[in-house]
Amino acid sequence: MHALEEIRRVLIPGGLLIDLRPLVDRWPVEVVWRGGKCVNGRLIDLPTGLADDAAANSALEEVTHQEWFTCENVKHFQIFVYWNDPEEMRLHILERWNDTTVLGDAVLKETITTWSAAGENKRVRVKMRMLLSVLKKP
């Protein structure tokens, strides 16, 4: 909430606050190749990631309720994050997303099996759910 107070203080009237972030949502793990796709399972959401989403949503609801900002637009959309192979994906998730989500052993094993049997130009990807909110200072 402190960050939103500071944003309100420095933002000019009519200025926009953009909230762009991934939402923890058991993101699907897929192998894709020329002419094919296979969903191998989902990542496991961690309590800290879920709590962070809830806290951010609550704070934004509070500042709109207090009329610090008006909500101009809210959109949900999906993006894909790609890796060359399952090991590269595993390391990325372990190093960068370790406070939000986990790649389970069974999903990793299934992904390796699918990737090994896949056709040309194969890649591993995770489909992330994103939130884009635009808020305006009155």
State residue 2's pLDDT score: 83
Spell out the residues 6+ positions from residue 67 whose beta carbon is closer than 8 angstroms to its own.
138
Q: What is the pLDDT of residues 14-65, one digit of tens each?
A: 999 999 999 999 999 999 999 899 999 999 999 999 999 999 999 999 999 9
Spell out the residues 6+ positions from residue 100 whose beta carbon is closer than 8 angstroms to its own.
24, 45, 46, 48, 49, 52
Kindly give the pairing relationship between strand 36-42 and strand 44-45: unpaired
Task: Name the residue type at position 1.
Answer: M
Whether pLDDT at 138 is above 80? yes
Residue whose entry in the numeric block shows the structure tokens 């056709």 = 119
Q: What is the pLDDT of residues 65-120, one digit of tens each?
A: 999 999 999 999 999 999 999 999 999 999 999 999 999 999 999 999 999 999 88
Contact 46, 32 (CB under 8 A): no
Whether pLDDT at 7 is above 80? yes
The mean pLDDT of 126-132, rounded to a whole number, is 97
Whether pLDDT at 1 is above 80? no
3-state helix, strand, coil in the chain (%, to 5): 40, 40, 25
State residue 58's pLDDT score: 94
State residue 119's pLDDT score: 84
pTM of the model: 0.86
